[in-house]
Amino acid sequence: MVLGDFKEEDNVSAVKQFVLLGFSDLPSLQGFLFGAFVIVYVVILFGNGLIIIITRLDAALQKPMYFFLANFSTLEICYVSVIIPRILFNLWTQKRSISLLDCASQMCFFLMLAATECFLLAVMSYDRYVAICSPLHYPLIMNPKKCIQLAAGAWLGGIPVQIGQTCQIFSLHFCSSNKITHFFCDIPPILKLACGDTLVHELSVYAVAVLFVAVPFMLIIASYSKIIATVLRLPTTTGRAKAFSTCSSHLLVVILFYGSASITYFRPKSNHSAGTDRLLSLFYTIVTPIFNPMIYTLRNKDVIEALRKLLLKI
SS3 assignment for 200-222: HHHHHHHHHHHHHHHHHHHHHHH
Tell me: pLDDT of 7 over 50: no
Tell me: pLDDT of 213 over 60: yes
pLDDT bucket at 11, cuts 50 / 70 / 90: very low
**pLDDT the model gives residue 200:** 87
Q: In this structure, what DSSP letter does residue 174 have?
A: B
User: Parallel, antiparallel, or unpaired: how do β-strands 179-180 and 17-20 relate?
Assistant: parallel
pLDDT bucket at 2, cuts 50 / 70 / 90: very low
Domains and CATH numbers, the chain: 17-312 (1.20.1070.10)
Minimum mean pLDDT among 66-70, 222-226, 229-233, 282-286: which range? 282-286
Q: Span 23-32, mean pLDDT?
A: 88
Give the residue among 121, 132, 143, 118 at the shortest CA–CA distance from 245.
132
Q: Span 174-180, mean pLDDT?
A: 82
Query: What's the rounded Cα separation, in Å, for the pair 103 and 108?
Result: 9
Q: Span 84-95, mean pLDDT?
A: 93
Asked if 110 and 86 count as a contact pair (C-beta separation under 8 A), the reply is no
Higher pLDDT, 143 or 236: 143
Tell me: pLDDT of 260 over 80: no
Indicate the average pLDDT of the chain.
Answer: 85
Higher pLDDT, 167 or 174: 167
Query: What's the rounded Cα separation, in Å, for the pair 254 and 216?
Result: 11
Query: What's the rounded Cα separation, in Å, for the pair 135 and 128?
Result: 10
**pLDDT the model gives residue 5:** 43
Bridge partners of residue 53, in order along the sequence: none
**pLDDT the model gives residue 160:** 94
**pLDDT the model gives residue 304:** 85
Residue 304 CB coordination number (10 Å): 13
pLDDT in tens, 144-156: 999 999 999 999 9
Give the residue among 2, 11, 14 at the shortest CA–CA distance from 172.
14
Query: What's the rounded Cα separation, in Å, for the pair 69 and 55?
Result: 8
Note the residue count of the chain. Answer: 314
Q: In this structure, what DSSP letter does residue 284 have?
A: I
pLDDT in tens, 158-169: 999 999 999 999
Minimum mean pLDDT among 14-28, 87-101, 217-231, 294-308: which range? 294-308
